[in-house]
Structures are given as structure tokens and as C-alpha cells.
Amino acid sequence: MSMSQASLRIGFIGAGRVAQTLAPAFARADLNVAAFYNRGPDAAQRLGSRIPSARPLAGAQQVVDSCDMVFLTVSDDAILPVCRGLRWKPHHRVVHCSGATELAALDHARSAGAATGGFHPMQMFANPDVALEGLRGCTVGIEAEGDFRHDLERLATSIGCEPLALPAGVRALYHASAYYVGPFLISLLKEGVELWRSFGASEADALRAMMPLLRGTVAAVLDGGLANGMGGCVARGDVGTIVKHLRALDERFPASGALYRELALRNVPLGIERGTLSAARAAEIEQLLLRTRQTQAAS
């Protein structure tokens, strides 16, 4: 960057949940969040209340004209057309926050001489207040060339995040990987909650019971790695318990039974690696899961 971070004028085009998280984080780090634009008034008002020093502007081009670094915090599909609809200059730094979108979506700005980059925090943004408090320590996937990559890495560090340099062409895989511990994890919690509902428990009851287990699972993995953190009937080779689980699920929740089989099959190699599951017992479990999967599908 040709100027220090402190003097850099940062702007946001799009005032949704990502902007409502990052803009306050930058402001807390004494960075100059100077202006923003949002097409609808509600999100703009929410961002304005979070960053009173930032000017709400009447158009996206005004943000570009008044700022040095511009974050396009719009929906993934809108990044390319929004970028293409604006006039850029060589001094601009143009950044999107999409995990899966390649930097080619910013080629219009790059063709004008601007530096372009990706800045994707691996964080859930359902509630900006929660996301902001959880931002410290989270990884930010960064893709850019040369000095601008180092600038974005310093920007991530300034808000307490861990920068991760992404090579070109891997953004979709990188982003998909995050879903397994983000949205898909919530789907798994939903599966467990629904089973609890079947015997009269509420969602709050189920989550209250499951959260210590979830925290314990994460702690075990952090302590010993994936395989050594592994527990449960598959890793133990407890075929009898697996049979009981499958019978109960297939009788009342066949879709959950199908998901259980897919996940249990992925538990098998971890149990072998952990050393608690013999090759012979692993083969028996796999055959059980595959055989009953075929039977369930035919019924």
C-alpha cells in the first residue's frame, strides 16, 4: 500500500451482516471506515448505527470516489456486475469477502489498474454482534498478488484474525470445507434435536444437553487430533449398539437412518487410525452399514 493503514480510507458497498461485522472490527482497530452505500435503507441504517463516523452515501460510485480500499460486501452473484458497473482508478484496492468466488469477478477493477483481493473470514455471520465478538482468532482466507496480499494479511492481523494465504483456483474447495463445521454442523445438531423432540423434549432441552458434548468433542480433537479425539460405538467396534441405533432410526426416521449410515462409514477409518477398531471388525461394520443401506433403499 502506498499509505499507512491508519490513513487508508475504507469503504463498503453493501451494508449487510458481513459489513456490519467487519466495519466495526476495523473501526475498533483504529482504521478509517470512511463511507458506505447500501441499496436498501434498513441495512444501511443498521450499519450507520454501528459506525457513526462513516458517511452513508447515495451511490456506490461515490464510495469508490471517496475511498482507497473498497469492500464489495454484496451477495456472491452480485460481485461481478457491481464491480463492472463502477469506475475504478489505479490507486484503488478492491476486495470481496466471498469464500467461493474467484478473483476474476474483480477483473474490471484490475483492468483499470486497481489491486484486487479476497478477504474471507471463516465465521458465521447470522448475528453481527455474535460474529464480531467471535472474530478474534478466526481464520481469514486471503488471496491477492504481491504486496497487496501482505497488506491484507496485516489487515486481518489488526483485527485479531489469523491470515491464511490461498493459492489461486481453490476458493470453492476451501469454502466448501468450511460448511462441514458451519452450516452442515447446524444440520447435524438439528438431526439430534428432532430425535429428542420425538420423546417430548424441546429444542432448548436438547441443545442444553448436547452443548457440553459438542464442547467436549472439540476439546478432544484439539488435544489429540481427529483420530485420537474420536469416540463412539463405531470407533469401539461395538456392532451391537450400531444395530440398535439402525433399528430405532429405520423404524421411525428412515431419512435419519440413511444419514447415520453415511456418517458411520466415515467413522470407520478414524477408528482404525485411533487403534481401537480392528480391520476385521471394521469390515464387519462396513458390511452391516452397506447391507442394511441396500435393504432400506429397497423398502
- Pairwise CA distance, residues 199 & 205, whole Å: 11
> ∠205-210-214 over CA atoms, to 5°?
155
pLDDT attached to residue 295: 72
Considering the domain architecture, whether residues 143 and 28 belong to the same structural domain is answered as yes
> How many CA atoms, within 13 angstroms, populate the side-chain half-sphere of residue 107?
4
- How many structural domains comprise the chain? 2
End-to-end, the C-alpha distance of the chain in Å comes to 64
pLDDT attached to residue 92: 97
Place of cell 463445521: 181
> How many CA atoms, within 13 angstroms, populate the side-chain half-sphere of residue 244?
6
Q: Which residues pair with 81 in a beta bridge?
A: none
183: DSSP letter:
H
Neighbours of 60 (CB within 10 A): 23
Q: List, for residues 24-83, the tens digit of each pLDDT value.
A: 999 999 999 999 999 999 999 999 999 999 999 999 999 999 999 999 999 999 999 999
Considering the domain architecture, whether residues 159 and 17 belong to the same structural domain is answered as yes
Domain range for 146: 5-179
pTM comes to 0.90
Considering the domain architecture, whether residues 48 and 168 belong to the same structural domain is answered as yes
Considering the domain architecture, whether residues 62 and 195 belong to the same structural domain is answered as no
Considering the domain architecture, whether residues 149 and 197 belong to the same structural domain is answered as no
Q: Which CATH number is 107's domain given?
A: 3.40.50.720
Considering the domain architecture, whether residues 218 and 253 belong to the same structural domain is answered as yes
- Percent of the chain residues past pLDDT 90, beyond the cut: 95
User: What average pLDDT does the chain have?
Assistant: 95
E-strand ranges in 97-174 read 115-121, 139-144, 162-165
CA dihedral 99, 105, 108, 113 (to 10 degrees): 40
